[in-house]
Amino acid sequence: MSFATWFSFFCAACLIAISPGSGAILSMSHGLNYGVKRASVTIFGLQLGLLLVLIVAGAGVGSLLLASETAFGIVKLLGALYLIYLGLTQFLSRPQASVVLQDNEAGLHIPSSGRRVLTGFLTNASNPKGIVFMVAVLPNFINSQAPLLPQLTILAITMVVIDTTVMHSYALLAASLQNLMRDVKAQRIQNRVFGAVLMLVGASLFFVKRDTSAIPA
């Protein structure tokens, strides 16, 4: 892989990561609720999901998924319902007396590390928009005449490093507002806003269509 090809992918990956999506919303929500350190566990789960999407797209399975209307519909439905579930759960969650501090001295219930990893993983892995995008984008940076695995490894490492950095930036930005969000009213607003956005993102997945142009002839 030439440096020019890698740099082009680097620029594309930066734009992908920066653009707001379900991963960014989740990172900000957990950063605000639990602090950056605990949000890092969620972000780790997001990267596992991202790696799965990259592998699926790079291995050509994504093209097969796009070719099957039924399979794509199932993935789309599951991804949409999962995000709507996450949003509804947060939207209806009860405000606490005060928001958790970095050391959890306020006693706010925090999901286990495993639960946060799973939430992050499912958020990215069940996102059909990510599969559609990667299937359409990755072939542009892969040389069919060269071994596939080394190229996928380079692209995956690049994407994960960029996305991890951006998601931590979102979490840090949200965590910096933690002191302003300790009263019950502020928490209620926060839960409603993040919950509504997650539900809207989930609902938008119902309108995602298969990109037949990305399917090999």
Residue 117 lies in a domain: yes
Sign (positive or negative) of CA dihedral 136, 145, 48, 102: negative
What percent of the chain is modeled with pLDDT above 70? Answer: 76
Interval 37-55 mean pLDDT: 92
Residue 66 lies in a domain: yes
From the number of C-beta atoms within 10 Å of its C-beta (0-12, 13-18, 19+), residue 20 rates as: exposed
Residue 197 lies in a domain: yes
Residue 187 lies in a domain: yes
**Does residue 26 have a pLDDT over 60?**
yes
**Do 43 and 55 form a contact (C-beta atoms < 8 A)?**
no
Give the structural domain span for 60: 22-209
Residue 215 lies in a domain: no
From the number of C-beta atoms within 10 Å of its C-beta (0-12, 13-18, 19+), residue 14 rates as: middle
What's the pLDDT band for 138 if we cut at 50, 70, 90?
Answer: confident
What is the number of domains present in the chain? Answer: 1
Which two three-digit tokens encode residue 192?
């409603």
Greater pLDDT, 148 or 156: 156
**Does residue 99 have a pLDDT over 60?**
no
**Does residue 73 have a pLDDT over 50?**
yes
Residue 28 lies in a domain: yes
Q: Which residues of 109-122 are buried (b: 16+ CB within 10 A; e: fewer)?
A: eebeeeebbbbbbb
Interval 60-64 mean pLDDT: 60
Please state the three-class secondary structure of 146-192 as a single string.
Answer: CCHHHHHHHHHHHHHHHHHHHHHHHHHHHHCCHHHHCCHHHHHHHHH
Residue 199 lies in a domain: yes
**Does residue 22 have a pLDDT over 90?**
no
Greater pLDDT, 106 or 120: 120
Which two three-digit tokens encode residue 170?
């979102």
3-state secondary structure of 20: coil
**Does residue 12 have a pLDDT over 50?**
yes
Greater pLDDT, 107 or 194: 194
**pLDDT at site 64:** 60
**Does residue 211 have a pLDDT over 70?**
no
Residue 169 lies in a domain: yes
Greater pLDDT, 168 or 14: 168
Q: Is the pTM of this model over 0.85?
A: no
